[in-house]
Amino acid sequence: MQKRKLGNTGLEVSAIGLGCMGISQSYGVPMATPDAVKLIRAAFERGVTFFDTAEVYGPYKNEEVVGEALEPIRDQVVIATKFGFDIGANGGSGMDSRPAHIRAALEGSLKRLRTDHVDLYYQHRVDPAVPMEDVAGTVKELIAEGKVKHFGLSEAGVKNIRRAHAVQPVAALQSEYSLWWREPEEAIIPVLKELGIGFVPFSPLGKGFLTGAIDQNTTFIASDFRNTVPRFASDARKANQAMVDAIAAMAAKKHVTSAQIALAWVLAQKPWMVPIPGTTKLHRLEENIAAADVELTAADLAEIENAVSAIAVQGERYAPVHAARIDR
């Protein structure tokens, strides 16, 4: 697979990474550990070198699975994980990015990941109670100690990106970005370009919706968090089908799948963008990886833009309780 560099820090990864969250939570029944390990290793065998997890996924279980899967090939992969939640409080929804907590979280992550360092360590969400300078300064110390290689932020706003970067260069920002969530284009992507920070879009397939496999009649099991997402309400899915149809039309023209068009579109936006689609199925993994070979011409991109710009996407991307944690 092609490689890409995230920002100016020299962090090189596969052009498409693997978002591992869904292996352990949020999208239906968690995978059995042996199956999850097999899937992650299959991704590596097919060229993926960038794996994304977090201590809160599971919680903890996802890091354990990723650690087991990647231990034999640790020196050939880039592992990203995250800190910033007080997992023992409020059902894991409380934030805590105090320096002492960051250090304690890292030690737990290193143990679960079976490694002596994290390649990319993200603040999972901005903690309004802790100055960003303290967060970035703590990670800077961890980098000096060799326990962290690169610093990242997730869902951070422009002001906090600048504040963090002034203390410790930020290698990458991870935030949602796709054909049906393009808000980062307004202010975030320009500042990333200015500062030389890479962008790691999560949910590049719109939590599965852009693949065409979900319609207004689709039902999710009770534990699937999409049940709480306004954009996945039945009436919103019906209205948003126009987006799916537009992507499907281009997919038919290019003789590829809708998922591959959605991923190729992200890859075509900037050379320092690395999407991290997730899956629990080998055939979907292979489909996603093959998107790196899909070439969208300037005419293709203009055609997609003309089609989707006329569509008003319905529904918020998060329920209020989750939206409140997004930095602005």
Residues marked active site are found at 57
Furthest CA-CA distance within the chain:
54
The count of other CB atoms within 10 Å of the CB of residue 85 is 24
Tell me how far apart the terminal alpha carbons of the chain are, to the nearest angstrom: 35
* Entry field: residues in the chain: 328
Residue with tokens 């903890």: 60
Sign of CA dihedral 26, 31, 33, 35: negative
For 22: left if phi > 0, alpha if psi spans -120 to 50, otherwise beta; the answer is alpha
- 82, 118 contact by CB (below 8 A): no
CA of residue 214 relative to chain centroid, distance: 20
DSSP 8-class letter at 126: -
Whether the upstream peptide bond of residue 169 has omega within 30° of 0, thus cis, is no
Secondary structure (3-state) at 72? helix
Pairing of strands 94-95, 118-123: unpaired
Structural contact between residues 179 and 204, judged by C-beta atoms closer than 8 angstroms: no
And the tokens for 117? 């360092």
Strands 50-52 and 18-19: parallel
